[in-house]
Chains A and B, each alone.
Chain A
Amino acid sequence: MRVIIFSWEYPPRVVGQLADYIKALSTQLVKNKVETYVVTYHDSLTGAVEEANGVRVARVANPVRAHIGVLTWDLTLNQEVERAAASIYYNADEKVDLINVYDWHFIPAAVTLKNALKIPFVYSVESLENHRSPDPNTPYSMSIKSIEWLGLYESEKVSVKSEWMRDEIVRIHNVPEEKVKVVSPSADSWIKDVLELYKTVAGGANGK
């Protein structure tokens, strides 16, 4: 199986807990014979490398330096994520089983790649704008929420780390409950559960 993970943080860029989680996940995936790529953001360490744990990491930077907010920064960075992912795809005989995208930042790229190259994606929700923002009804937050919604709508499966989060997604975004899978990183069966989820999605999107 060949998987690309999209995450806006990956060591050495550590913003929150996600970077270390993605590192642990990708390392475990490689150990379980999954060809694993990570596409992430770094302002200066750009390019593709294979790291010691066998994970192939592609780091991209934003070609546009001046911005008026996180949204414009994010929406211009996505084209570079698409470029890196497309390079992986074309260098791998045009076969990528799935993309696993973490949080909303790279949802635009995942959506384009699904529609263009028929690569299905899993949307792993770490947090929601409704919980992060003190006022989720500002135009700014509404905008981010609409990107989250797009990800929930276009993904094959949604994964969350707790039942509470599953219920919140169902409540806030009206997603059918069976689309949301709880994969707890503290469970003994964690990596088995991840692989299980990947297997249900791989090749499932549009028959590729």
Chain B
Amino acid sequence: MKNKLSVMMFSWEYPPRVIGGISPHVYFLSKSLAEIGVKVHVVTCDFPGAPAHEVIDGVEVHRIDSYKNPSPDFATWVYLMNLNMQREAAAIVNKLGGKIDVFHAHDWLVATAGIGLKHVFRKPLLVTMHSTEIGRRDGLHTDTEKMIHETEAWLTYEAWKVVCCSDYMVSHVKWAFGLPEDKLVMIPNGVNTRAYEDPENEHYETFRAKFALPHEKIVLYVGRLVYEKGIHVLINAVPKVLAKVDAKFIIVGSGYMKEQLLDIVKSMRLEHKVLFLGFVDEENLLRLQKCADVSVVPSLFEPFGIVALEAMAAKSPVVVSDTGGLSEIVDHDVTGFKAYPNNPESLAWGITRILIDENYKKYIRENAFRKVQEKYDWQKIAQQTKQIYKSVLGEYSKSFWA
């Protein structure tokens, strides 16, 4: 290819519009691709105060008028937003003289825009499936859920390649939409390790003292307080850990199980050992992760498990349940401890082991940090993504569309 590789990405969220995990994913992926010489245009929804067009870290960001048409419900809004996204993106591609090599869509929320533009410009379409409706809902129960599922199926059908962030998601997506093996690509999600580099003169002792006594170890949980995250399993493991080692359990996040969990803690008379912090801002969360003697991810269902990676990047040793994406992130006794899912005994065993055995703890956190740097670095992920773009373009160049 003589000219610079040029990609147009579609995402319904991009900072400052942050709804879930797609926004930071697209931000870091596009930025890292720009750093290795890929021209990236991100087409996304508008946000109050954010300009319609700007260049962020070398990435061209276009924000479309996403509430132009009134809509009776969320799903209809999505398709109408796609109408406007398609219309504005078409005009952008034209303005660039058609110089876009690949379209890259993130999730069904931008499905119809991606599919439509693929056909009118006859350029290859890639999709990253971050999640699925059938996985989120544990089945398809309503017409809306079926419609979204079929839209996802259609999107993966139209895509040249389907990218998933874990081997678990690859097999899930393959099963959900009946896709051939060679259409699927695994490229992990990334962690921005630079955010966890120690600033000079940072005094963690003072910060730590706000949450725990000097002789107490800190056990950290970060996540929504909902059933699938397995927080109740951790709460049930608390007395088992305390029988062996003195510790403070810090719970970050909120959710519908909060009252119930508080009741359990109260009935165990352990209010002084379990601290519910609710939502914590990014800066303080980072410090907490750095202070934690162990981070626990006890999920029952987990497509990827970014929170475990963040803990590993912060050099906090992790105990995770052996399920979904977590199973791939952690190697047992090497980069963390894998507990049996939904088993407080097993979870307590892992937590206690890390808190008591200093050598084990040191060994695990060093291995974990190295693994994050090697496998989940955005630069590496951008390289892998660029390779996929190139191989797709190689195949495309031999097709009758080229």
Which residues of A are at the interface with B, using a C-beta cutoff of 8 A? 63-69, 71-72, 75-76, 78-79, 82-83, 86, 90, 108-109, 111-113, 115-118, 138-140, 142-143, 146-147, 150
Question: Does any Cβ of A come within 8 Å of B143's Cβ?
Answer: yes
A115 touches which of B69, B87, B143, B146 (Cβ 8 Å):
B87
Give A76 Cβ to nearest chain B Cβ, in Å: 6
A79 and B80 contacting across the interface, CB-CB below 8 Å: no
Selected A-B contacts with CB under 8 Å, 17 pairs = A64-B151, A66-B150, A69-B76, A71-B72, A71-B76, A71-B80, A72-B75, A76-B154, A79-B112, A79-B119, A82-B119, A108-B83, A115-B87, A116-B90, A116-B93, A116-B94, A143-B76
Q: How many residues of B contact A (CB 8 A)?
A: 36
- Of residues 118 through 168 on chain B, the ones whose CB sits less than 8 Å from some CB of chain A are 119-122, 143-144, 146-147, 149-151, 154, 157
Contact B112–A86 (Cβ < 8 Å): no
Query: Are the CB atoms of B72 and A76 closer together than 8 Å?
Result: no
Contacts of A67 in B (CB 8 A): 143, 147
Q: Using Cβ atoms and an 8 Å threshold, which residues of chain B touch A113?
A: 120
B86 within 8 A of A: yes
**Chain B contacts for A150, CB-based, 8 A:** 69
Are A112 and B122 neighbours in the complex by a CB distance under 8 Å? no
> Do B112 and A75 touch across chains, with their CB atoms under 8 A apart?
yes
The answer to whether B143 touches A66, judged by C-beta atoms less than 8 angstroms apart, is: yes
Q: Which B residues are in CB contact (< 8 Å) with A66?
A: 143, 146-147, 149-150
Decide if B68 is an interface residue (CB 8 Å cutoff).
yes
B116 within 8 A of A: yes
Q: Which of A67, A69, A75 has the most CB of B within 10 A?
A: A75
* Chain B residue, CB-CB nearest to A115: B90
Query: CB-CB < 8 A to A75: which residues of B?
Result: 76, 79-80, 82-83, 112
16 new A-B contacts at CB < 8 Å, known A64-B154, A66-B149, A116-B93: A66-B143, A66-B147, A68-B75, A69-B72, A69-B76, A71-B71, A72-B76, A75-B79, A76-B79, A111-B87, A116-B121, A142-B70, A143-B71, A146-B69, A146-B70, A146-B80
Provide the residues of chain B in CB contact with A143, threshold 8 Å.
69-72, 76, 80
Beta-carbon contact of B76 and A116 below 8 Å:
no
B91 part of interface (Cβ distance < 8 Å): yes
> Given contacts A79-B115, A113-B120, is CB(A64)–CB(B147) below 8 Å?
yes
